[in-house]
Amino acid sequence: MKRKFWFGEWHSTYTSCNRLYKKLIAGIEWENPNKTGKKGELFVFDDEQQSWFNYIYDHYLVDDDDYLKFYRLHRKPRKWGIRNFSQTGSNYPLSYAPFNSNQFLPINRKHVFTCFADQDAVCKAKLRQKINSSYVKFKLKDNNYVCNYCGAEGNYDNPLHLDHIDPTFNEIYEEFKMRHGKLTLLAGNYGVFSNFHDKRAEFQLLCANPCHFIKTREDRRMKAHG
C-alpha cells in the first residue's frame, strides 16, 4: 500500500489511518454536564482539518462515479465534519455538506476514501453476506438444514455456512463484472447481481467449524494440483 497523507502526517497502513481518525474525535467534548452523550452533536472541522480532508478528496477518493454522484460527492463538499450518532459515544461517522447544500450528511469514511478500504472488496463482502443470509433462510423453510459434509443438523449452536461448490462466489462475482461492469454499493445492484448469481450457483451447507474450513482447504489443494 502506498503511503498516505492523513491528518497532517504520512502513514502507510489502514490501522494508522483509523487510529488517527479516533485520535481526532477523542479531543471533542461529546458529553453534556450529566455525563451522557449528546446524540446528534455535529463537529465541523477547523480550517487546517478541512485542508487535510480536501487533500484526501483530491488524491484518494474512491474510483466510482456512480457511487459518488449518488451521495453528491462527485464535486468537493463545502465542509467536512463528524457527528455523534450514539448516546454512548461509539458511532462517529464522517459528515459532509455537499457542494450544493449546507446540510451535513453522514457516511462511513471507509466508503469514501481508498486509504480506508478497497471499495470492490467491501461491495463483494456485502453481496456475499446478503446471499448467504437469504439462502440459509430458504433452506430452513425447506427443512433441509443439514451439513453436506458430516450430516450434522444445523441449529443455533451449530450454525451452517453457505458454500459455493462450482463455480465459487468469487468466480461468479468476477464474471458479472466482466459482463456488466464494476458493481457499487447502491441499493439497486443486489437484485441484478442476485439473479445473475442464482442462475450459475450450486450450493451446499457446511458446519461453520470444522467442516467449512476442511472443505475449503481440500478445494484449494485440488485446484493447486490441477
Total tally of structural domains belonging to the chain: 2
**Whether residues 27 and 68 fall in one domain:** yes
**Whether residues 165 and 97 fall in one domain:** no
**Whether residues 176 and 88 fall in one domain:** no
Answer yes or no: are the C-beta atoms of 207 and 148 closer than 8 Å. no
**Whether residues 104 and 160 fall in one domain:** no
**Whether residues 43 and 74 fall in one domain:** yes
**Whether residues 220 and 124 fall in one domain:** yes
pTM: 0.59
**Whether residues 133 and 103 fall in one domain:** no
Final residue before a domain boundary, out of 111, 145, 160: 111
Segment 167-188 shows an average pLDDT of 82
User: Pick the residue with more confidence: 23 or 95?
Assistant: 95
**Whether residues 94 and 189 fall in one domain:** no
**Whether residues 100 and 145 fall in one domain:** no
**Whether residues 17 and 101 fall in one domain:** yes
Q: Please, which pLDDT band fits residue 1 given cuts at 50, 70 and 90?
A: very low
Cα–Cα distance for residue pair 94/21, rounded to 1 Å? 10
Q: Give buried/exposed letters for 140-167 (b at 16+ CB in 10 A, else e).
A: eeeeebbbbbeeeebeeeeebbbbbeee
**Whether residues 44 and 89 fall in one domain:** yes
Final residue before a domain boundary, out of 111, 132, 166: 111
User: Pick the residue with more confidence: 160 or 19?
Assistant: 160
Report pLDDT for 2: 57
- Residues 6 or more apart from 45 whose CB is under 8 A from it? 52, 53, 79, 80, 81, 82
Final residue before a domain boundary, out of 111, 130, 146: 111
* CA dist 51 → 22, 47, 58, 203 (Å): 18, 6, 10, 50
**Whether residues 71 and 135 fall in one domain:** no
In one-letter notation, the amino acid at residue 110 is K
Question: Percent of the chain beyond pLDDT 90?
Answer: 13
Domain encompassing residue 101: 4-111
User: Pick the residue with more confidence: 61 or 8?
Assistant: 61
Report pLDDT for 97: 96
Cα–Cα distance for residue pair 219/109, rounded to 1 Å? 36
